[in-house]
Chains A and B, each alone.
Chain A
């Protein structure tokens, strides 16, 4: 119960932070903000000074900041994000469209990284300082030093431009998934391979690992019955933290590969100062982090009885 409560506080704080930041952003918009918001609501053909005045009054754009901020946050809490200043469509509709594309990309990336990282990490951790461990350390350190945009650039240049194996951009077909998800997965795999490796090496030093052998179990049996489950605990915990990296990656990777997701939309919204869209997308990303981590907290409690008590 405590977990839920503290995550709820976190969610509310996230909403307030984003709301306040976007409010300041809106107030510092160049030109007449009321006019732009009214245009977003009613379309550029249907606005006049009266409509702009109505908006100005409603949002208190000219008045004192505090009541206006409270009004703004109140709208936010009612999940009323308003309309996009660019398309005029309700923000909530736009986001629901884009969310699916982002979530599917993120899921493929996570899955791919879990297939690559932890198995290698566990094998390396079983023989610390063996050739696999050293090789993995080298590769994962190198991968960690490559930012996602650079990884995307390398993959585009090598695979799309030089070898012409895959398209550099696009969306809709399975082959379009490969480059963006690989870009994300390589960075994630570098980290969760290290986590799995360190966890495995630590577990192999623990008395219960030794004791399982003393009971007569082979190393394989010990790994399957005691190793994997114990490695899963730190791995799952870190997955929650990796989610931030993933979201950052999604923002960059979607922009590079022209993936019609929420990260792409966010960058566009920032670029065109579309405040309601910024608020909506940022909020979804922030609350997504909280939701994923709540789920992870609960999962860890299920795997590890020590956490629950």
Chain B
């Protein structure tokens, strides 16, 4: 017997259909993944099953949980299931814990208030729960002192303490590094066990692959493909699924390695960088040639961004030198940001901002039009403000803006980490192609090792633990530029 069965769930916003009729069933011990990009309706599906849709949206369809049959159009009925039947692993585990309460109490209160255990019993149970998740010793910590992964484990313990057999996880790997992603998959599988149910909403292909079993691919509120995960990964039937799978950096065609023929634009010599008195890395030396892509990767907190800032001259390294090619113009070093919205003046139209840059740098106004075409951007976008443009478009506009300055070096700091995979692939392709054509030295920073591996001519992997004497690694046969 299935744990949960949803039939013909439809979601409307007034007269617009956001999700076309979708049915699914959760069986014990068989995880189900709903895969899709932003706006595919995958989170709405989860919300409909939980009864947490915003009141402005209307849902239709039936949800059967155990012996109960509920109407998706009446979300109030679902409340009694929370914690008792359905446990939700929230998107932002850190923000989902009460900042003023110790970890143990956040789990124990579910035991007392939902299961009705006695205080001491609940307390003991909470300790056991946390210890079982490898959190022994962290019971008395406040959320802000927990790492993201620890917070996630506390959250899952708290969510399930009420006895829920079904776990729904919405984007559980959002913002996590690759190794942590595997931990999440393992954690979710363990929590499910043989008798529990697991529904995972994600755009993360690696996570979907690791969880295996069943998968539904959604696009714009419609099911594109449905079936066995491994089969879909091996031979996707729909073109969209193919495109989506190919957008995974793991599957990108490796770049033809090139050895440097041109002189170095920027050279780092024995660089040591510290932030807030903590040495991030030391003794790093390399140089980047014209038209080349220099990839930097490593876990969060390893100093990737600080390395970029040091090269740009935004922070002063503790030791070592950054040498620019002789005769460089003062503003030929430019940067692309992770969140392009925050990199533009908030209350000015994009067109005005670009005009300012043109007027200031003294290049011809026609250059904007030429670049718009080159980067495949609609000129109508220029009338809008930065927050009214999609992330992929805005990142290309950021590139356009720095190109107006005819840069010789661009540092792109996680330029695509907030974009959907298909958009990411497109932006990275445009970025590397344009810089290569214009002879710009590009430093590409990303936590995604596969992305860097398949894009860069040279790779520098920074490590969070041993930051001593990191040197660029030479992928495949390409040759690192000899340092000065």
**Chain A–chain B contact at Cβ < 8 A:** yes
Nearest A residue to B158 by beta-carbon distance?
A215
Question: Are B82 and A213 in contact, with the CB atoms below 8 A?
Answer: yes
Contact residues of A between 97 and 112, Cβ < 8 Å to B: none
Chain A residues positioned under 8 Å from B110 (CB to CB): 215-217
Q: Does A306 contact B (CB under 8 A)?
A: yes
Nearest A residue to B50 by beta-carbon distance?
A214
Chain B residues positioned under 8 Å from A230 (CB to CB): 98-100
With A226-B98, A226-B101, A306-B142 already in contact, the answer to whether A215 and B90 are too (CB < 8 A) is no
State the CA gap A215–B439 with chains docked (Å): 56
Q: Does A30 contact B (CB under 8 A)?
A: no
Question: Are B100 and A217 in contact, with the CB atoms below 8 A?
Answer: no
Contact residues of B between 127 and 178, Cβ < 8 Å to A: 142, 144-145, 155, 158-159, 161-162
Chain B residues positioned under 8 Å from A206 (CB to CB): 95
Question: Are B145 and A309 in contact, with the CB atoms below 8 A?
Answer: yes
Q: Does A305 contact B (CB under 8 A)?
A: yes
Q: Does A58 contact B (CB under 8 A)?
A: no
Chain A residues positioned under 8 Å from B91 (CB to CB): 207
Question: Are B98 and A215 in contact, with the CB atoms below 8 A?
Answer: no
Say which residue of A214, A303, A306, A309 sits within 8 Å of B159 (CB atoms).
A214
Encode contact with A along B359-398: 1 for CB under 8 Å, 0 otherwise.
0000000000000000000000000000000000000000
Min Cβ gap B120→A in Å is 18
Q: Does A225 contact B (CB under 8 A)?
A: yes
Most buried by B among A206, A211, A216, A304: A216
Q: Does B323 contact A (CB under 8 A)?
A: no
Question: Are A306 and B114 in contact, with the CB atoms below 8 A?
Answer: no
Q: Does B83 contact A (CB under 8 A)?
A: yes
Q: Does A221 contact B (CB under 8 A)?
A: yes
Question: Are A216 and B95 in contact, with the CB atoms below 8 A?
Answer: no
State the CA gap A221–B100 with chains docked (Å): 16
Contact residues of B between 59 and 102, Cβ < 8 Å to A: 79, 82-84, 87-88, 90-92, 95-101
State the CA gap A229–B101 with chains docked (Å): 9
The A-B contact count (CB < 8 A) is 79
State the CA gap A305–B141 with chains docked (Å): 10
Nearest A residue to B92 by beta-carbon distance?
A207
Nearest A residue to B81 by beta-carbon distance?
A216
Min Cβ gap A284→B in Å is 35
Chain A residues positioned under 8 Å from B144 (CB to CB): 305-306, 309
Nearest B residue to A226 by beta-carbon distance?
B98
Q: Does B109 contact A (CB under 8 A)?
A: yes
Question: Are B100 and A214 in contact, with the CB atoms below 8 A?
Answer: no
Chain A residues positioned under 8 Å from B97 (CB to CB): 208, 211
Say which residue of B90, B99, B155, B162 sits within 8 Å of A216 (CB atoms).
B162
With A214-B82, A215-B110, A309-B145 already in contact, the answer to whether A304 and B96 are too (CB < 8 A) is no
Encode contact with A along B270-306: 1 for CB under 8 Å, 0 otherwise.
0000000000000000000000000000000000000
State the CA gap A298–B95 with chains docked (Å): 25
Min Cβ gap A205→B in Å is 11
Chain A residues positioned under 8 Å from B142 (CB to CB): 305-306
Chain A residues positioned under 8 Å from B113 (CB to CB): 216-217, 221, 225
Question: Are A214 and B114 in contact, with the CB atoms below 8 A?
Answer: no
Chain A residues positioned under 8 Å from B100 (CB to CB): 229-230, 233, 303-305
Question: Are A217 and B98 in contact, with the CB atoms below 8 A?
Answer: no
Nearest A residue to B145 by beta-carbon distance?
A309
How many A residues face the partner with a CB closer than 8 A?
22
Min Cβ gap A286→B in Å is 32
Question: Are A211 and B101 in contact, with the CB atoms below 8 A?
Answer: no
Min Cβ gap A247→B in Å is 30
Question: Are A214 and B90 in contact, with the CB atoms below 8 A?
Answer: yes
Question: Are A304 and B99 in contact, with the CB atoms below 8 A?
Answer: yes
Q: Is the interface of A mostly helix, strand, loop or mixed?
A: helix
Nearest B residue to A206 by beta-carbon distance?
B95
Q: Does A202 contact B (CB under 8 A)?
A: no
State the CA gap A215–B105 with chains docked (Å): 13
State the CA gap A122–B98 with chains docked (Å): 18
Nearest B residue to A219 by beta-carbon distance?
B79
State the CA gap A212–B105 with chains docked (Å): 12
Question: Are B83 and A211 in contact, with the CB atoms below 8 A?
Answer: no
Encode contact with B along A193-216: 1 for CB under 8 Å, 0 otherwise.
000000000000011101111111
Question: Are A207 and B96 in contact, with the CB atoms below 8 A?
Answer: yes
Nearest B residue to A308 by beta-carbon distance?
B142
Question: Are B99 and A215 in contact, with the CB atoms below 8 A?
Answer: no
Question: Are B83 and A216 in contact, with the CB atoms below 8 A?
Answer: yes
Question: Are B162 and A215 in contact, with the CB atoms below 8 A?
Answer: yes
State the CA gap A206–B98 with chains docked (Å): 10
Chain A residues positioned under 8 Å from B99 (CB to CB): 208, 230, 304-306
State the CA gap A155–B324 with chains docked (Å): 75
Question: Are A216 and B96 in contact, with the CB atoms below 8 A?
Answer: no
State the CA gap A277–B97 with chains docked (Å): 53
Chain B residues positioned under 8 Å from A226 (CB to CB): 98, 101
State the CA gap A51–B145 with chains docked (Å): 67
Question: Are A212 and B98 in contact, with the CB atoms below 8 A?
Answer: yes
Most buried by B among A214, A221, A304: A214
Contact residues of A between 225 and 244, Cβ < 8 Å to B: 225-226, 229-230, 233
Chain B residues positioned under 8 Å from A221 (CB to CB): 113
Nearest B residue to A225 by beta-carbon distance?
B109
Chain A residues positioned under 8 Å from B92 (CB to CB): 207
Question: Are A215 and B95 in contact, with the CB atoms below 8 A?
Answer: no
State the CA gap A217–B98 with chains docked (Å): 13
Min Cβ gap A41→B in Å is 55
Given contacts A214-B82, A225-B98, A225-B109, 14 further A-B contacts (CB under 8 A): A206-B95, A207-B91, A207-B92, A208-B99, A210-B90, A212-B98, A214-B50, A214-B159, A215-B82, A215-B162, A216-B84, A225-B113, A304-B100, A305-B145
The 26 listed contacts between A and B (C-beta, < 8 Å) are: A207-B92, A207-B95, A208-B95, A208-B97, A210-B52, A211-B88, A211-B159, A212-B98, A214-B50, A214-B82, A215-B109, A215-B158, A215-B159, A215-B162, A216-B84, A216-B162, A217-B110, A217-B114, A221-B113, A230-B99, A233-B100, A304-B100, A305-B99, A305-B142, A305-B144, A306-B99
Closest 9 CB pairs of A and B: A216-B83, A216-B114, A211-B96, A216-B162, A207-B95, A305-B142, A214-B88, A207-B96, A215-B83
